[in-house]
Amino acid sequence: MSGQMEARQSAMLASMSDVPERWLTTSARDKHGTLGAPVTRMDGALKVGGRARFAAEVPLDGLTYAAVAFSTIAKGRIAALDTTAAESAPGVVLVMDYRNAPRLKLPPVMFSAPKAGAQSSLPVMQDEQIHWNGQPVAVVLAETQEQADHAVSLLRISYEAAPAVISFGAAQQNARTPEKILREPTSVAIGDAEAALAGAAFKIDLNYRTPRHNHNAIELHAATAVWQGDRLTLHDASQMVNMTSWTIAEMFGLKEAQVHVHSPYVGGGFGGKCLWTHQILTAAAARLAGRPVRLTLSREGVFRAVGGRTTTEQRVALGAKADGTLAALIHTGVAAMTTHNNCPEQFTFPARHLYAADTIKVTQQVADMNMIANTFMRGPGESVGTFALECALDELAEALQLDPIELRRRLEPEKDPTSGKAFSARHLVEAYQRGAARFGWEKRSAKPGARREGEWLLGMGVATATYPYYRQPGGAARIRLTADGRAFVQMASHEMGMGTATVQAQHAAARLGLPLDHVVFEYGDTDLPPGTLAGGSSQTASISVAIIAATQALTEELLRLAGNESPLAGLSADEVETSDGGLRAIAEPDRFESYASILGRAKRDDISAMAEAPPPSEVQTYSMHSYGVQFCEVKVNEVTGEVRVSRFLGSFDCGRILNAKTATSQFKGGIIMGLGLALMEDALFDERSGRIMNPSLAEYHVPVHMDVPEIEVMWTGIPDPKAPLGAHGIGEIGITGVGAAVANAVYNATGRRIRELPITLDKLL
């Protein structure tokens, strides 16, 4: 988190060029076969038994309940805010607005820069200015939630509206090209792609559109705040506890250690459970009231105060030679954004790394609008970018009269097409072959509309899934071993339902040579050693490396403690390995002493060691990505246009799979979210008012059981020799490629190309 840590890490970066051996597999020592096993989630029973306490369920003495009023204009100022009626309503403790809210500094660094992915650099309830339709303008605290909800309806607020940019079309008149998209250059050009396209024997040049999506985790965004003097405890649903603690500390003029963030359970994150205004308002209101505050956003509140995926318009142009190889690959476009955040929706990232082409042009723009800041949402960029790119590949395959899988085989690059780096591991062609065999791809008719069951037309589609491998710099882990042979592994990381805590317990058990039930992974609390954010599908790699570093540090501590009477006397940490509940000399396996024996001789109850993760040098050296192939079969009703997905298979290539059960759930969950992207999800933005018109799950549709067929997933499971544990991230790749696989299947069924999501039945009539 600290600048110091970052500086230290960049200094180390230069000296490291490859992944040290000890970061990799634990398999030789994994005698219990723990890593990779389909272990059930350790938090699962607590959750289904109702014993997991979420942020909005913390009981506190004197707790007050908050309700939020949201702006109804997109830009301008609050002209009048009459709180009289609300304040005299039953049970009301206070009303907080910009006039009486505690004075707060601007959200620092990740906000005010504004840095990539930051939610907003705007002040939080400090003045009368309105920046988006839905901005929180007042918080009512009351003795019960119902009293707060009632009182908020009694607020009398009037606005003075100013001209707002709330039409995407109008915003595009002033579209700008940011210098960087995340940390990559916005534009990449290899050769003259436009000229190559013009001269190509076969070409397609198409536009695709994707709508806004809103975050809709099952658990509503909520926070409970309690102050003790100048110390704040925030019970949050968070995928970045350390960044939250640090940012709130800066805003309130406190030290980071004075803000304790606790987030043991998160009911779905997907990129949306970072830091928004509601946590800051909870803390501010608790300070103002001198009482604990619980703020749970309503479902509508989540649409107003938490951003989601932004809308895009994309162009994909492909020029091919007769053999299918690409003379030109062009992917450009524009995404809506705000000036007070920086999440440009990196939809051109897949085109940089997937296919060989003689010439390449990728670039993207942003169009600033007055709206809730958009943010990361599972596979941000990649999910909508693969929709355009992979639909275009399908259209090119048809123009070439080639099978779409055969086309991709011919486009397989030897090295990264834009960076020129070697791939650390890439078995995409194998994932295609294995998936095609399992799915029965040979049953697909190349001619659209050729298969029918009564009034249902059947089609099959395929698309590549891809997501980059990331590992965040920073983070540290501590391991405490006890004399009874147990390990407590600690890092302020996040379990949002992915299986992180279970997988890291498996990892630590395998690494330390302990049975799984002797290992506890502790997370979700800023009192623990600092973690990195759970984002970019990077957390498993980030934690794994920190645990490996901590194991190294622990080994050194254990050897020191073992001393001269140990069979290990005289050995250095590099000469021993953690194995079978103790240390063993690598060269002389008979020289062994158990942790219990070492601790017992020293009369110690426990021993612990902590270490920082080394910086992510592997990503500097290699082109690293998760891959997959999405196979979809649809039935489209010829009379009503209704699309039913009848079969789905994901065939993935994401390195070593660390837990077969939680990985299956991650892949399936991503695919299900992808079915929503393909067929339903659409946050309707009123271009007259800048207001989202369907802020409820009644009107904003996500897949339900009836929409989801049996989904099968499989994987190559080939470890990446350059990645910690041989594993790539799997949290986000599942959603990528799904939109295109569905659209391509719909085309194969009906002969209709739908280039605008979601593929609703009106577009097929």
Q: What are the residue numbers of the active site?
A: 732
Round to whole Å and give the CA distance between 160 and 128: 10
When asked if residue 670 is in the footprint of ligand MOS (CB under 6 A), the reply is no
With CB under 6 A as the contact rule, which of the stretches 20-28, 175-183, 263-271, 348-356 interacts with ligand MOS?
Answer: 263-271
What is the rounded distance in angstroms from the CA atom of residue 506 to the CA atom of residue 37?
8
Task: Give the Cβ contact number of residue 228 at 10 Å.
Answer: 9
Please, which of residues 215-254 interact with ligand MOS by CB under 6 A?
A: 239
By CB under 6 A, which span of 264-272, 365-373, 396-404, 667-675 interacts with ligand MOS? 264-272
Closest-by-Cβ residue to ligand MOS is: 271
270-289 residues near ligand MOS, rule: CB under 6 A: 270-271
Contact 569, 562 (CB under 8 A): yes
CB closer to ligand MOS, 418 vs 539:
539
In the numeric block, which tokens belong to residue 625?
A: 């990505």
Nearer to ligand MOS, 682 or 732 (CB): 732
Q: Does 380 bind ligand MOS (CB under 6 A)?
A: yes
Instruction: Pick from 267, 269, 473, 734 the residue near ligand MOS by CB under 6 A.
Output: 269
3-state secondary structure of 150: helix
Q: How far apart are CA 701 and CA 301, in angstroms?
A: 17
Positive or negative, the CA dihedral 238, 240, 242, 246 is negative
Binding mask 514-553 for ligand MOS (x = CB under 6 A): ---------------------xx-----------------
Residue the block writes with tokens 């699309």: 643
Where helices occur in 228-267 by DSSP H, the ranges are 241-252
CB of 384 to ligand MOS, least distance (A): 12
CA 540, 546, 549: angle at the middle one, nearest 5? 140
Nearest approach, Cβ of residue 77 and ligand MOS (Å): 33
Q: At its nearest, how many Å lie between ligand MOS and the CB of residue 738?
A: 15
CA separation for the pair 294, 512 (Å, rounded): 41
Least CB distance from residue 270 to ligand MOS, whole Å? 6
- Which CB atom, from 733 or from 764, has the smaller least distance to ligand MOS? 733
Give the binding range for ligand MOS (CB under 6 A) out of 212-220, 375-383, 392-400, 578-586: 375-383
User: Are the CB atoms for 220 and 271 separated by under 8 Å?
Assistant: no
Helices (H), 253-326: 277-289, 299-305
Interaction between residue 467 and ligand MOS (CB under 6 A)? no
Question: Within a 13 Å sphere around the CA of 616, how many CA atoms are in the beta-carbon half?
Answer: 21
The residues with which 360 forms a beta bridge, in sequence order, are 190, 329
Contact pick of 168, 376, 521, 667 for ligand MOS (by CB under 6 A): 376
Stretch binding ligand MOS (CB under 6 A), from 2-10, 373-381, 437-445, 666-674: 373-381
Residue placing its CB nearer to ligand MOS in the complex, 535 or 614? 535
Does 304 engage in binding with ligand MOS (CB under 6 A)?
Answer: no
Of 114-173, binders to ligand MOS (CB under 6 A) are none
Pairing of strands 487-490, 685-686: unpaired
Contact between 387 and ligand MOS (CB under 6 A)? no
Concatenating the DSSP letter of every residue in 424-455 gives S---HHHHHHHHHHHHTGGG--SSTT-EEETT
Give the full edge-to-edge strand order of the sheet including 606-612.
Answer: 519-522, 487-490, 476-482, 606-612
Tokens of 703: 């897949």
Q: Which window, 80-88, 156-164, 265-273, 312-320, contacts ligand MOS (CB under 6 A)?
A: 265-273
Asked if 222 and 240 touch (Cβ cutoff 8 Å), the reply is no
Min. distance of Cβ 120 from ligand MOS in angstroms?
17
Radius of gyration over alpha carbons of the chain, in Å? 27
CB-CB contact of 594 with 581 (8 Å): yes
Is residue 378 part of the contact set for ligand MOS (CB under 6 A)? Answer: yes
Taking the least distance from each CB to ligand MOS, the nearer of 270 and 595 is 270
Binding mask 725-754 for ligand MOS (x = CB under 6 A): -------x----------------------
Closest CB 654 distance from ligand MOS, rounded Å: 15
Considering only the stretches 267-275, 276-284, 451-459, 660-668, report the one whose residues sit in contact with ligand MOS under the rule CB under 6 A: 267-275
Cβ contact 481:554 at 8 Å: yes
Does 303 participate in binding ligand MOS (rule CB under 6 A)? no
Q: What is the Cβ-side half-sphere exposure of residue 119, based on CA atoms within 13 angstroms?
A: 23
Based on the shown chain and the rule CB under 6 A, indicate whether residue 107 belongs to the binding site for ligand MOS.
Answer: no
Nearer to ligand MOS, 239 or 623 (CB): 239
Q: At closest approach, how far in Å is the CB of 536 from ligand MOS?
A: 5
DSSP secondary structure letter of residue 311: P
- Our finding on whether 377 is near ligand MOS (CB under 6 A) is yes
Provide the token pair at 525. Answer: 């609390």
Q: Which of 475, 400, 403, 473 is nearest to 433 (CA)?
A: 403
Footprint on this chain of ligand MOS (rule: CB under 6 A): 239, 269-271, 376-378, 380, 535-536, 732
